[in-house]
Amino acid sequence: MPFTANRAFKARPRMIARAKDMFYFTPEGRKLIDGSAGLWCTNAGHNRDPIVAAIQAQAAEVDFAPPFQFAHPKAFELAARVASLAPGDLDHVFFCNSGSEAVDTALKIALAYHNVRGNASRVRLIGRERGYHGVGFGGISVGGIVSNRKQFGSLLAGVDHLPSTYNREKQAFTIGEPEWGAHLADDLDRIVALHDASTIAAVIVEPVAGSTGVLAPPKGYLERLRAICDKHGILLIFDEVITGYGRLGYAFAAERYGVLPDMITFAKGITSGSVPMGGVVVRKGIYDAFMKGPEHVIELFHGYTYSAHPLACAAGLATLDLYRAESLFERARKLEKPWGDAAMRLKGLPNVLDIRTVGITAGIDLASRPDAVGKRGYEAMERGFHDEGIMFRIVGDSIAVTPPLIVSESQIGEIFDKVGKVIKALA
């Protein structure tokens, strides 16, 4: 099982048999409120009727169309819809099947872009400590989570990392973006001085680092990062696999922060988790750089058998329709304050070291048990599932709470009441 303590799971399984809207159901019929939107992905809720109907209809019409040298109409329709949501001149879309594939695709596009422009020496990639960019070799190379890297050797060469933006002493118990930390972006100048700009292809960051425990960017940090990249001719990639499609109250975090990256990766929320899909949105200038030479020659030697799969495209179109019809992005913006206020009510509970909220997302750090780092977090997840009727994510001894965007104010209260009960029980 992926990212799972297999022996502990098999000793006491956490099985799911059914899901609808805000809830999961066990094989025995027990109801659990979904405090994690599946895996940060079911932004529109579970098994929404319009999405299910679109998938069923598409399966009966075209089950598969080869994406190499052929296409189907819904691929272009969805690409146009995604591009219309992206800011600025981010107007071309390359589809894949997951966030991990989206990241590796973006990194390859960055390398190839500099190559076709005659800057083949630009091969270095810059990530960030505590960053998560999926599980491909590219993604774990630029990622900065030790456990994801340490078993797999030296990974890609020529990768460097910015420092993490988190400092508990300066930022603890912050709702929204912390005041301290914009200066941490200036470390990119140090990295450029070490390696020289002529060797650096791209910087990739999550606008909000989600999988490491919800770390919002300090005010002004992303703007400074954009300015330094512009100064040195470095591409800036926003990994929005988690932040895309409403999690921060906007289609993309780039819109919330008013910073235009050169590429945006997406996945998860594009289909509300119903069918695997991911992709990369690129600026017009990047696309145009490849459109040279004889027209019969492939411009980018990259892709996947299931890129723009018909069922995924149908699900994506239905999901975007649902986001628009129910104004879910705007709804998330309105709920951000009551969400943050509810989360902060857990301050002062036993072993709570920090609480951070941004958008409809919260990270809660718990003190580690003296005998085992991560044990309290694991016990919290187990107790939530088996005793309190809630599912949430854990990252070591941190709890991440990220429900579907259809969550009501009363359900927000219910979620944090249940999390509070779990924390108290583990004191």
User: Residue 51: pLDDT band by 50, 70, 90 thresholds?
Assistant: very high
Q: What is the pLDDT of residue 170?
A: 98
State the average pLDDT over residues 353-380.
97
Q: What is the pLDDT of residue 238?
A: 99
User: How far lies 257's CA from each of 190, 226, 227, 243, 406, in Å?
Assistant: 24, 11, 14, 12, 23
The 10s digit of each residue's pLDDT in 194-243 is 999 999 999 999 999 999 999 999 999 999 999 999 999 999 999 999 99
Asked if residues 158 and 141 have their Cβ atoms less than 8 Å apart, the reply is no
Q: What is the pLDDT of residue 372?
A: 93
Q: What is the pLDDT of residue 49?
A: 98
Structure tokens at 322: 């649902």
Residue reference for tokens 């929005």:
240
CA distance 20 to 247: 19
The 10s digit of each residue's pLDDT in 90-108 is 999 999 999 999 999 999 9
State the average pLDDT over residues 26-35.
98
State the average pLDDT over residues 44-50.
98
Q: What is the pLDDT of residue 222?
A: 98
What residues contact 309, with CB distance under 8 A and at least 6 apart?
64, 97, 275, 277
Q: What is the pLDDT of residue 159?
A: 98
The 10s digit of each residue's pLDDT in 138-165 is 999 999 999 999 999 999 999 999 999 9
- Of all residues in the chain, the percent with pLDDT exceeding 90 is 100
Question: Would the pTM count as exceeding 0.95?
Answer: yes
SS3 159: strand
- DSSP, residue by residue, 377-426: HHHHHHHIIIIISEE-EEETTEEEE---TT--HHHHHHHHHHHHHHHHHT
Asked if residues 238 and 264 have their Cβ atoms less than 8 Å apart, the reply is yes
What residues contact 251, with CB distance under 8 A and at least 6 apart?
85, 86, 244, 245, 329
The 10s digit of each residue's pLDDT in 289-322 is 999 999 999 999 999 999 999 999 999 999 999 9
